[in-house]
Copies of this chain bind each other. A is one copy, B any other.
Amino acid sequence: MALVTLTTDFGTLYPAAMKAVILNICKDVTIVDISHTVPLGDILTGAFVLYNTAYLFPKGTVHVAVVDPGVGTCRKALILEAGGQYFVGPDNGLMIPAAHRCRKMKVWTIQVDRLFPEISSTFHGRDVFAPVGAYLAAGRNVEDLAKPSDCYVCLNLEEAIIETDTIRGKVNYVDDFGNVITSIPAHSLCNILKPRDILKLEGNDIRFVETYANSNPEETIALIGSHGFLEIAVSMGNAAEMLSISGHPAICLQKITSTDNNE
| Interface residues of A, Cβ cutoff 8 Å to B | 1, 3, 5, 10-13, 16-17, 19-21, 23-24, 27-35, 37, 40, 49, 52-53, 56-58, 72-73, 120-123, 126, 175-177, 211-213, 225-226
Q: Which among A16, A19, A24 has the greatest number of chain B C-beta atoms within 10 A?
A: A16
**Neighbouring B residues of A123 by C-beta, 8 Å:** 226
Q: Are A11 and B122 touching (Cβ within 8 A)?
A: no
In the bound assembly, the distance between CA atoms of A20 and B50 in angstroms comes to 12
Which chain B residue has the least Cβ–Cβ distance from A60?
Answer: B27
Partner of A53 from B20, B29, B37 at Cβ < 8 Å: B20
A52:B17 contact, CB within 8 angstroms = yes
* Copies of this chain, count: 3
User: Which residues of B have CB within 8 Å of A23?
Assistant: 3, 30, 32, 57-58
User: Nearest Cβ distance between residue A24 and chain B, in whole angstroms?
Assistant: 5
Chain B min CB distance to A120 (Å):
6
Contact present for B72 and A212 (CB under 8 Å): yes
What would 16 A/B residue contacts be, using CB atoms closer than 8 Å?
A3-B23, A11-B176, A12-B49, A16-B35, A16-B53, A17-B53, A19-B32, A20-B58, A40-B177, A72-B213, A73-B213, A121-B211, A121-B213, A122-B211, A122-B212, A123-B226
Give chain B nearest CB distance to A34 CB in angstroms: 4
Q: State whether A56 touches B176 (Cβ < 8 A).
A: no
Q: What is the CB-to-nearest-CB distance from A133 to chain B, in angstroms, rounded to a whole number?
A: 15
Provide the bound-state CA to CA distance between A32 and B40, in Å: 23
Report yes or no: B53 in contact with A11, Cβ–Cβ below 8 A.
no
Q: Give the docked Cα–Cα distance between A52 and B212 (Å).
A: 32
Q: Is the CB of A35 within 8 A of B57?
A: no
A49: chain B residues within 8 A (beta carbon)? 12-13
* Residue pair A16, B40 in contact (C-beta under 8 Å): no
A12 touches B40 (CB 8 A): no
Q: How far is the CA of A122 from the CA of B176 in the complex (A)?
A: 16
- Asked if B211 and A72 sit within 8 Å, CB to CB, the answer is yes
